[in-house]
Structure 1
Amino acid sequence: MNVSMVDSALPRFAALVDDYLLIWVLLSVSIGLIVPSIAVLTPLSTLILAVMIGSVSLTLAPERFQKLRGRVLVTILIVQTGMPLLAFGIAHALGLSPALTAGFVVLGAVTPELVTPTMTELSGGDTVLATVVLIVVGFGTLVLVPGVVTLLLGASIAVDPVLIVQQLFLAVVLPMSLAVAVRSRWPDHIGVYDEIYPSVAGLMVILIIGIVTAANASLVRDSGDVLVSVVVGALVLNSGGYIAGWFISRNFTRGERIASTLSVGMRDFAVAAALLVGASFPTSATLPAVVFGIVEMTTSAGLAKWFRRQA
């Protein structure tokens, strides 16, 4: 296959991924539930996330970081700190058990989901802003998680800083730094495929949600009646975050507003689940994180499609 044939096929690939992303995500979730053996690919998750972040970051010319507005960043960070309070209120209103309540509180307190920059790029938002929010909140999690859990639940959850820092470094900081350096060194060659990089990242989103769903398929299936309440709670927390991010950004640019909406509404369910397991909570405490992951991947894909249409 020659270069011209590849170049002509790439736009078709991009359109196939971008235009039908929501359908692909729903299909991936379904396959994960039906074929849980896909969970064997879980060790590849960090690599997939790194490819996803790296692909998006290839579109980030260094000068885009210079345009980041401090007031916008601070506003989003302030609203982020209110998410565990919202999560606690939701769990309390639903009458959930202490373990499930802890699951929601930790979910609200952790960093935005690692795919947030990807979904921001696919939505036409400010990817630099979403990436910086992700990194800053990630390090703030080291203080925020034990603080809010102690305040709201009366017992501290042990936070493993190595877990969070390692995930941020391997899946976000390292691939982003390499991609921005490559973009800076060869801007013309890399810029030729700017329309393709978000689609590659979108493909990684499809893969990762299928793997996560498969890895937790038995937990979802065995949850019984409580699953309905957890699904409702996840939907309210996710949509509540989107609404808060959209409301506080009404004076931002369109790109900043999209980044704000997704950064506040999306939570890193994998980190939340890992922290709960590390703190020796019952397995059921991770259910809110698992369900939320499926919910947010689906809703963010739908939002990306809506934002593109509005543009």
Structure 2
Amino acid sequence: MSRFDRAATILEDYLVLWIVVAVGIGLAFPSFGRLSPLTTPILAVMVGSVSLTLSPTAFRRVRPRAVGLLLLGQIGMPVAAFAVARALSLPPAVTVGFVVLGAVTPELVSPVMTELAGGNTALSTVVLVLVGLGSISLVPLAVTVLLGATVPFDPVGVVRTLLLAVILPMAVAVGLRARFPDRVGRYDRYYPSVSALMVVFVIGIVTAANAGLVRGGSRGTLLVVLVGAAVLNGVGYALGWLLGRPLTPDERVTALFSVGMRDFAVAAGVVVAAGFPPPAALPAVAFGLVEMVSSAALARHLSRHRRA
């Protein structure tokens, strides 16, 4: 085994550990939050790397039925988020944060976790793009229906982020794979590892950018929000698993991550754009920490099960 193979194995097998380390560094050194402008290019590298494993044929094999079931799960997530917040008797501002979190696009790293777990990465990416575009309507609609308030946010900014961080790198990567299949396919072993490394960078930067908010909040409120984030994450995984039961095994794995993971960075941005008080961003921060650890652990478990 070469040094690169060993490094890739260590990164993937101990991804949970590296994420915890990144969170600790982010909290200890908030100045790393200044790297936030690099988040979009890092996400582009992350999505582009995992998309290099895809061919146009893989996208043509995505089944409409699977897409439809996963989209149904996306609609259910803001309702689940609202129910969790109400069950915990959270303040209105924090409840808004949970609803926005449930309504945004799946986490941009969900295709990475899907790939690491042996799921259908093409299906995950298709759902990510479709929900990302649909979230422009779903976010304000969910908040209006569930809370009776309108959330003004910049839809152009959300679309721009999706274009630069997801659609463009995915298109370039798939094009390169189609044009140079042998040359690109030679390094398939390392693309998920590059994406996993980008995940560690992103969680560290986002944690550093929100370190002040985490430190300054009430311990009681922070604990309840953390519990709510963990419950919502678990509900999302359960909903994805139930919706995926009629599907193939790789599609079922995809449903887990596509429904259970939420883009906490986009959620935090929407909350800021809406002008809500700082506590409204707490669900996004807490959920980001929870989902990155849980998804990495779940991906590792499913990957080992597949190898066995």
- Once the two structures are superposed, the pairs formed by residues 1-311 of structure 1 within 5 Å of their partners are 8-224=2-218, 225-311=220-306
CA–CA separation in structure 1 for the residues paired with 2:4 and 2:304: 21
Q: Distance in 1 between matches of 2:27 and 2:242?
A: 35
1:19 Cα deviation after fit: 1.0
Residue by residue, what CA displacement relative to the aligned partner does 1:17-42 show, whole Å, maximum 9, x if unpaired?
A: 11111111111111111111111211
In structure 2, how many angstroms separate the alpha carbons of the residues matched to 1:29 and 1:253?
35
The alpha carbon displacement at 1:45 in A equals: 0.6
CA distance in 2, matches of 1:198, 1:103: 31
Q: CA–CA distance in 2 between the matches of 1:57 and 1:79?
A: 23
Which structure 2 segments of 5+ residues have no match?
A: none
Unaligned runs of 5+ in 1: 1-6
Kept in 2: contact 1:145–1:159 (CA 8 A): no
1:4 aligns with none
Shift of 1:66: 1.1
CA distance in 1, matches of 2:182, 2:83: 50
What is the identity, as a one-letter code, of the residue corresponding to 1:209?
A: I
Pairwise CA distance, 1:69: 0.4
1:44-85 deviation per Cα after TM superposition (whole angstroms, max 9, x unaligned)? 111110000000000001110111000010011012101111
In structure 1, C-alpha distance between the alignment counterparts of 2:255 and 2:177, rounded to whole Å: 25
Superposed CA RMSD: 1.0
Task: Compute the TM-score of the two structures, normalised by the length of structure 1.
Answer: 0.96
Query: 2:302 is aligned with what amino acid?
Result: F
The residue type paired with residue 98 of structure 1 is P
| Residues in 1 aligned to 2:35 and 2:6: alpha-carbon distance in whole angstroms | 27
Of all paired residues, the percent bearing the same amino acid is 56
- Matched residues in 1 for 2:209 and 2:92: separation? 24
Q: What is the one-letter code of the residue matched to 1:94?
A: L
TM-score w.r.t. length of structure 2: 0.97
Q: 8 Å contact 1:112–1:263 — kept in the other structure?
A: yes
Amino acid across the alignment from 1:298: V
Count of equivalent residues: 305
Separation (CA, whole Å) in 2 of partners of 1:147 and 1:159: 12
1:25–1:206 Cα contact (<8 Å) kept: yes
Q: Which stretches of structure 1, 4 residues or longer, exceed 4 Å deviation after superposition?
A: none
Shift of 1:281: 0.5
Q: How far apart, CA to CA, are the structure 2 residues paired with 1:27 and 1:252?
A: 36
1:159 deviates by 3.1
Deviation at 1:87, TM superposition (A): 0.5
- The alignment partner of 1:68 has SS state of coil
Distance across 1 between alignment mates of 2:253 and 2:210: 30
Tell me the SS of whatever aligns to 1:247: helix
